[in-house]
Chains A and B, each alone.
Chain A
Amino acid sequence: MSQENLFPQETNFSPENELPGIRAKIIGIGGAGLSLIDGLCFDNFQSVEHLAIDVDSRALADSIASEKLSFGRRHTRGMGTGGEHTLARKALEEEKDVIRKKLEGVDLVFLLAGLGGGTGGGAAPVIARLARESGALVFAFTPLPFSWEKSRHSMAEECLADLRKFANAVIPLPNDSLLQMGGADATALECFAEAGRNVSKGITAICALVFRRGMIDVDFVHLRKAFNRRAGRTLFGYGEGEGEDAIRQAVRELLLCPMLHLPDVSKAADALLILITGGTGMSMASLQQVSLEIRDEFKAGEHIVFGAHVDENMGDRVQITVLGATDLEAGTPPADVAPAAKGVISALPKSKVAHPSKLQKQNQTTPTTPTPKLSRFKKQETIDQNTFDFMEAENQRGIFGDLPSRNLYAGEDLDVPAYLRRGVKVSI
C-alpha cells in the first residue's frame, strides 16, 4: 500500500478569511528539499498542502510533511540515488502518473529541491514540467552546492538550466552565499537555518498574497499574469524593520539582503512581486513611497504585483519580501492568463558542457554564417539560460553579469567574486 493513502487530503476546508478555490502545494524533493519543508515555519494556510517526495523511504519516514510519496523503489530498493540524477529522472518518468494525480487541481506549486543531489536534481525538472502541464504556477527554491564541490556543482547547473525551462521562477540559493547570511559570528548551521527561514518567509509572503485578504489586495490571477511567462533570472530578497522607522529600515535591509547580491541574480525585473506585512500602525503614504522606491530599484515594468497586509501580531515590525523575474520570452506579447502548458517544452536552452581546457571560456560556437560586420561580435555567445540578448543596458549592471561566456579556470568561474567561492565571510 502506498503511503499517500495514510494521509488523507483536506481539500474541502476553506475558512472565511481565505479565498476559496485556490490550492497550493509545497513539494520538497530529495534530502535538501525534505529538510527545507520540515523547517518551514509558518502560519497554517488551510489550502496549502505539504508533499514530501524522495526515493529514500527512511528519510521520508522521518519527514513531518502531511503527505509523502516515495518513488523509484524498483531502481533503488528504497535507498538513495547516490547522486545519480539520471536514475531519479528515469524512475520518476516511470511513475509520473502518480505525481500527476498529486498535482490535480493545484494552482500554485512551490518546489523545494537541492539540485546538487541525485533525487532533487533529477526529479525537480520533471515535477516542474508535470505541474506546468497541469496548469499550475510553479515557483522553485533550489539550494545549490558550494562551488568547490566541482562535479556536483556543474551537475546542479545542468539541472538548474533544465528546471528553468519549466518553472515560472527559479530562485537559486547557492551555498556559497549562505555564509554571507546571518550575523558576523554565525555558524554554518545558523546560516543554513537563516536561509531556510528566508525561503519560508518567501513562500509565506506569496501564500499570504493569494489566500489572505489584505490592505492592498491582489489575487491569484494577478500573480499568474505577472509570472506567467517562462522566467530567466530571478531575484528574491527579504528585509525586516522594527520601531518608529520600521518601513525605512526594512527597505534598507532588503536592499542589503545577500540573496540579492549574487552573480546570477538579476538586477532588474520584468515581473515583480512586492509584499509588505506590518502591524496596524503602517501608514498608507509610506507604503506607497516604499513601493515606488522598490519598483524603481528593480526597474520593474508593468507586471508588478503589490500587496500589503496588516497583521496585528507584527506590532511595530515591518517585513518586505520581493520576488522578481526577468523574462525569457520578452518581445513576445504577454500570453493570456491560461496555463502555458503547450509552450512549456521549449527547444531553446541547451545545458552547459564543461570545457576541457583550463583557461578557456565556455563557448559553444554556433556554425558561423556570413554575417554583417557588427554582428560578428556575437560569436562568443553561449546558448544557455543566462543569455539574454534582448536585455537592456540597465539589466546588465553586474560588472561581468552581461558577458555571455564564462571565465572558467580549473572548473571555477573567475568572474564570480573570489570571497564567495573561497567561503570567506564578509561582514558589513
Chain B
Amino acid sequence: MSKIIGAVEIGTSKAKALIGEVADNGNLNVVGMAFRPNEGMRKGEIVDFRKAAAAVHSALEDAEKMSGTTVDEVYLAQTGAHLKGQMLLGSASTASSDNRVDVTDLQRASEEAKRRSPDAGRTYVHHIRTPILLDGRIVQDPVGMIGSKVDLGYWAIDGDDQAIKHALHVISNYSLDVKDLILSSIASSTMMAGPDFRRAGTLVIDMGAGVTDFALYRQGFVAYTGVIPVGGDHVTGDLSMGLRILEPYAEKLKIEHGKSIPDPMDEGEDVWIIGNKTIGDRAIPRKAITDIIHVRIVELFEIISKELEGLLEPDELKGGILLTGGASLLPGVDQIATKVLGFPTRRASFPSGIASELAHPENATVLGLLHYGLEDHGLPGRKKEEAETGFLGKFRKMVGLSPQH
C-alpha cells in the first residue's frame, strides 16, 4: 500500500504545497505541487492571516487536484526571526546489572534533556537529536552495547506562541492536521546536503525572499541553526529606494540585471527601468544596481558570520558552504560568501532523482520537508510509529488549545 504525505511551506514570496506518494519500497514520488504568490507574509512571519491562508489553501487545493488524491496531514515548515535554538543535554546511567544499554536508558536521557520547558509565551518547534555518546564515544545505536553512561542532546528550537499558532491555524482551517513542524533550514539542508556532506561538516544557507535560514552540521549532526530576517525582498526594497523606482520595477531589475559583485565590464553601462522608453522610463547605471546589492549581501553574510562566531573551524567544515533558496541565484553571492565567511562556497545542486521542473533552489525547503518527514528521527530501538503522537496533539497540550471543533 502506498502512502500519501503532504508538505506545506508558507513562504514569504510564495505559498507552496507538495503532495508525495511513498511507494512500498520507500521511494518517494511527487504527485502534486502548486505554488501561489503569498502577500500575507513578511520576513517569514504571517502579517495578514487571511491573505496567507488564501494562498496556502488555493495551493493545497491545486496540489490535491493535480494528484487526484487528498491529504490528511502535512509537514509544515517553520521559520521567522522569532525562532531561537539552544542545546539541551540529558544523560542516564545504564540501569541493567550487566551494563548493557537498554532502550529505556536512552528514553530517560531523552526525557531529562527535554525536561526544560520553554519560557512563557514560547513553544518548542523542533527537537533535533545530536549524537549519542556512550561513555564519551559517539555511537550510532548504543542499544545492546556495554557502557555505564549515555549522553544525548537535542538542538531545540523554540518560537513565539502566536507566530506558531498562526501558521498552524492556516493549516487547520483547511481541515488538515500538521503532522510535524520542521525548521525550514533543516528541511532545505536535508534536501541539499547529503549524508556525506553532513558528516564532513557543512553550512547550508537558504536565502529566501523574506528570511535567510542557515544550519550548521558537524559530524553528521546539527550544531547550530539560525534565521536572519533579511532576504531577497530587502534587496528589492533597497533597489527601490536607492534607484527611486517602484517595487515591481526594482524586482524586475534585480532578477534581470542584479549582480552582487561589481563588474568592471559594467562601468558606464546603463539599463532601462521599464525597457520600452515610455514616459517615466529612465536609464540607470548598472554600477548603481550592483553597488546597492553588494552592500546588502556582504552585510547579510557578515551577520551570519557573527552568529556563528567560533563555530566555523576548518577541521569541522570540510564540506564547505552550500547556498540555496531563490535569492542564492543572484550572481556573485557565492563569491561574497567565500570571502566573508572564509570557506569555499558554492550553490548546492539537487540530488539526482528530483524532477527537473522541481529542481529549483527556491523549492529546497518544501522538497526537504517531504524527505525529512520520511526519515526516521526517533531514538534508536523504537519503532517510528511509537515515537509519534502528531505535532498538533503535542502542541495543543502545551498551549492548552481545545481539540479541533
Contact = CB atoms under 8 A, between A and B. Distances in A.
Interface string B299-328: 100010010000000000000000000000
A173 B282 CA distance: 26
Interface string B227-258: 01110011011101111101100000000000
Contact of A419 (B47, B230, B296, B306): B296
Contacts of B299: 414, 418, 422
A349 to B, nearest CB: 22
A414 B42 contact: no
B284 interface: yes
B233 A361 contact: no
Interface in A387-419: 397-400, 403, 407, 409-410, 414-415, 417-419
Given A359-B81, A400-B42, A417-B238, A428 B233 contact: no
B358 interface: no
Nearest to A428: B288
B376 interface: no
A58 interface: no
A239 to B, nearest CB: 12
Contacts of B263: none
A428 B285 contact: yes
A418 B302 CA distance: 12
A419 B244 contact: no
B14 interface: no
A377 B166 contact: yes
Contacts of A256: 244
Contacts of A376: 162, 165-166
A400 B285 contact: no
B242 A415 contact: no
Contacts of B49: 374, 377
Contacts of B242: 180, 261, 417, 419-420, 426, 428
B207 interface: no
B10 to A, nearest CB: 14
Given A417-B296, A418-B298, A419-B296, 14 more contacts: A261-B242, A374-B49, A376-B166, A397-B247, A399-B233, A403-B42, A414-B229, A414-B234, A417-B234, A418-B238, A419-B238, A424-B292, A427-B287, A428-B288
Interface of A: 180, 255-256, 258, 260-263, 359-361, 374, 376-377, 379, 397-400, 403, 407, 409-410, 414-415, 417-420, 422, 424, 426-428
Query: Which 5 pairs from chain A and chain B are nearest by CB?
Result: A399-B237, A417-B238, A418-B296, A418-B295, A426-B242
29 contacts: A261-B241, A261-B242, A263-B241, A374-B49, A374-B50, A376-B162, A398-B237, A399-B236, A399-B247, A400-B234, A403-B42, A407-B43, A407-B81, A407-B229, A409-B228, A409-B303, A414-B229, A414-B230, A414-B234, A418-B234, A418-B296, A418-B298, A419-B242, A419-B291, A420-B241, A426-B243, A427-B287, A428-B242, A428-B285
